[in-house]
Every structure is written in structure tokens, then in C-alpha cells.
Structure 1
Amino acid sequence: MNQEAASTAIKSRFAQALTQWNVMTLYERFEQGVALILTGLIAAIIMVALLELSKEVFQLVLVDAANPLDHTLFQALFGQILTVLIALEFKHSILKVVARKESIIQVKTVLLIGLLAISRKFIVLDIGEIQADTILALAAAVVALAIAYWLIRERENSRAR
């Protein structure tokens, strides 16, 4: 895309946003403002987390201080990667509100983010130091979130038919 086409696309989006803004209620404007601020804050958090993760990976590669196949190091790095991905998914769900594709954060998205967070927890768990009842509780939470997600998806699919 050349610069002129990009400029035209930006102007078109801005005009569309302005048109939408003019027809919003006061509360809808408030909601949009909050969503924009949250998006900026989460983007800043993602950037800091990404910089820290990059710094750690480069130190491992350049200094070669540790074996990247060491399971504890791998768990820590993979946990950090998943944290960044969870934050990205969360930011994406807020961007849907800003783009006015959805009026509020969708429950399905929250359930999926919860599943990601618990999956991350399973990855970084040290099995030798965690009690069985904690693992059982996490597994029960995964099953509950998965069932809730499935029920919501089935309801949406039946409405679409």
C-alpha cells in the first residue's frame, strides 16, 4: 500500500470514528474513553514484558550462561511468552470495543483468556513442590471453563441456525 492510499484509509477511519462518536450517548463515549485508556496501558505493559523477555533470551544466547534445554529455564521463558500472549489477547478483546464491533467484552473471550492463564500455570508448575489438591483444583477450573465456553458456543451456534 502506498503512502497516499494509507493516508486516505486513515482519514476514512477517522471520519467514520467521528461519525460514530457523534451518535453515541454520554455513557457510550465514557466506555470508549475507558477502553482506549486500557488499550494504551495494556500496550505499554506488553512492550515492557516483551523487552524484558527479549533481554533474557539475548542474555542466554550471548552469554550462554545456562542451558536453554534446562526444564526450569524453559518453563520460566515459556511462562513469560504465554504472559505476553495472554496480554495481547486481552488487549485484542478491548480493541473490539474500541472498534465498536462489540459493546462489551464478550464472555467467550474472558473464558478463553482464563483457559490460557490456567494453561500457563500448568506449564510453570514445579510438580515436585505443588500439592495434589492444588493440581486437582486447577484441573477442575480448566474443566469448568471449558464447559462454560462450550455451552456459550453451542448457544450462539443454535441462534445462528
Structure 2
Amino acid sequence: MSRWTRGYHRISHYWRDNNFVHLTEQIQIVIAKILSILMIIIILVALWDLMIYLAQILFTEPVGFLTNTLFKIFGLFLNILISMEILENITAYMKKHTVQVELVIVTSLVAVARKIIIFDLEKYSDFALLGLAVAIFALSISYWIVRTLNSDPRG
């Protein structure tokens, strides 16, 4: 059998539907693992940045510094929490091989809540705040619908 024929048979083997689906699933798993590792690195770097920032603030700012920097500290904390939620989404995908819609909605709620917590009324218009309120409302309704559909009717 010639080299071309063997190559053709090898390639045609992977193009069969079952084999191709299996190959794409394996690629998705590798990508999810790489994303998990990168997200862990991001979380650790963000945590380090938060610790450095807090140390600098504690040792250099005068008494009453929290009034000026509290929203920035909250934003940094929530960034780490959102990153952890994204990591949880990735690991849930690796476990069940499906996107967990409930987790995605909760992550989105945390992200929009972060935006509201650090919202600067002097910097943005009232319409921006209204847009965030509509987003929270829509995500809350979505979460309620998904939660109701996923709940066990037996209680």
C-alpha cells in the first residue's frame, strides 16, 4: 500500500462523524484545561495585586483612608470573585461537558453588581445607571426562570 493511500485512510478515519465528534470533544477538553490554568494564574496575580495595594494603602495613607479608596478595594475584591466564578464555569464544563446556564447567569449578576457597587455618579449619566438596573432585572428574571426549570418538583 502506498504512502498516499495510507495517509488517505488515516485522514478519512478521522473525518467519520463519530471520530470527528470525539476529536472535537478532546480539543475542547484541552482548551478548557488551558483556560483553567490561565484563569488560576490571573486569580493569583489579581490576589497579589490586591495584597500589595492594601499594604500600600495601610502604610501610606492617613487615618480615614477608606472613605477615598473603599470603592476601589471593593472593585478589586469583586474582580477576584468574578474570576473565581469564571473558573467555576470552566471546571463545571469539564465535569459535565455542558455549559451551566445558571452559573453563567450568576457570574453575570456578580459582574453587573460589581459595576453598580463601583459606579461613579459624577462620571456616568443616569441612563448608564438605568441600563445597569435593567441588566440586573433581566438577569434576575433569567436566573429565576432557569432556577425554576431546574428545580426538583418533589421538593
| Same amino acid, percent of matched pairs | 30
Aligned equivalent of 1:15: none
Aligned equivalent of 2:134: 140
The separation in 1 between residues aligned to 2:144 and 2:48, in whole angstroms, is: 36
Aligned equivalent of 1:79: 75
1:65 shift after superposition: 4.8
Which structure 2 residue ranges, 5 or more long, are not aligned?
Answer: 1-20
Q: How many residues align?
A: 135
The separation in 1 between residues aligned to 2:62 and 2:39, in whole angstroms, is: 32
- Counterpart of 1:78, as a letter, is F
Which structure 1 residue ranges, 5 or more long, are not aligned?
Answer: 1-23
The separation in 2 between residues aligned to 1:65 and 1:104, in whole angstroms, is: 50
SS at match of 1:25: helix
Do structure 1's residue 25 and structure 2's residue 22 form an aligned pair? Answer: yes
The separation in 2 between residues aligned to 1:68 and 1:46, in whole angstroms, is: 26
Residues 75 and 118, structure 2, Cα contact 8 Å, conserved in 1: yes
Residues 93 and 100, structure 2, Cα contact 8 Å, conserved in 1: no
Instruction: Decide which structure has the larger Cα Rg and report it.
Output: 2
Relative to 1, partners in 2 of residues 1:55 and 1:66: Cα closer, same or farther, differing over 3 Å? farther
The separation in 2 between residues aligned to 1:82 and 1:142, in whole angstroms, is: 16
Residues 60 and 66, structure 1, Cα contact 8 Å, conserved in 2: no
5 Å matches for 1:7-156? Answer: 25-65=22-62, 67-70=64-67, 72-98=68-94, 100=95, 102-156=96-150
